[in-house]
Amino acid sequence: MRTAAIGLLIALSAASPSVGEETVPLNLRTARVSPGWITEGVMYQIQPRAFTAEGTLKAAQARLGKLAELGVTILYLCPVFVADDDMDQASWSPRQKKSGMNNPRNPYRMKDFYHVDPEYGTDQDLKDFVAAAHALRMRVMLDMVYLHCGPRAVFLEAHPDFVKRDKNGKIKNAGWSFPALNHASPELREYLWQNMEWWVRDFDVDGFRCDVSDGIGLDFWETARQRLEKLRPDVGMLAEGTRKADQLKAFDLDYGWGFAWDNAATVRTQWEKMRAERPRGGARFIRFIDNHDIANDSYDNRIEKRWGAARVEAALVAIFTLDGVPFLYNGQEVADTARHSIFGRMPIDWANAKTAAGQARFAFCRRLCAMRRSRPALTRGELVWVDNDAPSAVLSYLRTSAEEKVLTVVNLTNKPVNVKLAELKETFKPLLAEGAKHDERGTFALESNGYFVGRK
């Protein structure tokens, strides 16, 4: 969940460097080594209320074969735990009230962290979902919401100190009008660590996406990883945040918030800033243009409608060839334009998959997944920016590994651009190209949202 309140949470949260390390600049320290299934993967988000008309885990499981066919390898499942059903709208988030759905069950306002909400099925249904994903060689990450809880959380009566309170004993909110969990309580921390262990040990999940992770001290997440690795050495951790020290010990990935996809120069500047501030050998981010928050806030004006297919596909080329891990939001692979909301069931229009546009998008995304899987430079290669003479319009960069070089050139605008790349002395064989012509001198003629990906 992202709102203006995030800035305050980030400012208040602090990293916890080990003794003797706090004086070493982050960009001179080394990021943790992450498992290959993370660094070489393609992530796909399932928002259960959108993913199927039924909105259940069983229905979602029935669609896993199509995701395997697409080529995704990591499934990130929005919260399926028991949501709070309190009807007092004083404890609802502003977006929840604004949706007009009159539904108290916000999936990011937990009542019980230890069980599946009956809306989605049973605990056994989740076990079956994970097992089916594994049989198709896909990993599963659950979405953990540990900054806050619901006002009727099952532990509040027995453990009133699990939430923050003022001097009069009144519950304090973390944001979004939700009770703030009290991470100063050792008992609360133990309760949550055991919760993560429960899902790994008893449900065989592969890792976690951690909601508003910046709002919780980094030491909590570092201890969580230490404990989880005893159960699953290759556990994966994704932070919904951009805390600069995240990837020293705790996390494998952070959210890549901040890219303005209508300006290539801004994308490059933001990338360079984030890289310069973070540990060497890591600084890994998920790369996306849509997710459950964006779709929820767009509502009647989804990215597919605002941008159009050509611009979406140009941006997808970028997120699949930049460093980090590409991320697809459910329905993106069939150019879905249906209304989505996390506050009620508003499903993807899967009939679109049978249209020419839907079939073309599926084939395109499948090709992107296959290209990433087959090109070592796209998963292990360093990224080096290539200067060009149209920097606000065109992204141009190399991914370089021991085996190969891959060049990407993308026009992010809806106008044709003739662009000259600086110091490009090599010839690249096309891997994926649309609306792009080039010569041996490094000059590209790019149509509106044209792109070129080539290898040497």
pLDDT in tens, 259-282: 888 899 999 999 999 999 989 876
CA 113 to chain centroid, in Å, comes to: 21
List the structure tokens of 271.
């990338």
What pLDDT sits at residue 87?
96
What is the pLDDT at residue 9?
38
pLDDT of residue 408: 98
Q: What percentage of residues in the chain have a pLDDT greater than 70?
A: 95
Which structural domains are found in the chain, ordered by start? 25-374 (3.20.20.80), 385-455 (2.60.40.1180)
Q: Identify the burial level of 19 via C-beta atoms within 10 angstroms of its C-beta, where 0-12 means exposed, 13-18 middle and 19 or more buried.
A: exposed
| CA 304, 310, 313, 317 torsion-angle sign | negative
CA–CA separation, 64 vs 75, rounded Å?
A: 10
Q: What are phi and psi for residue 354, nearest 5 degrees?
A: -95, -5
100 Ramachandran zone, left/alpha/beta (phi>0; psi -120 to 50) = left
In a 10 Å sphere around its CB, with 0-12 CB exposed, 13-18 middle and 19+ buried, how is residue 228 labelled?
buried
Res 440: pLDDT: 75
Residue ranges of alpha helices (H) inside 99-205 are 123-135, 186-203
Pair of tokens at residue 60: 């979602």
Q: How many residues does the chain have?
A: 456
Which residues of the chain are under the pLDDT cut of 50?
2-20
Helix (H) or strand (E) holding 448: strand 443-455
First-to-final CA distance of the chain: 41
The per-residue pLDDT for 19 is 43
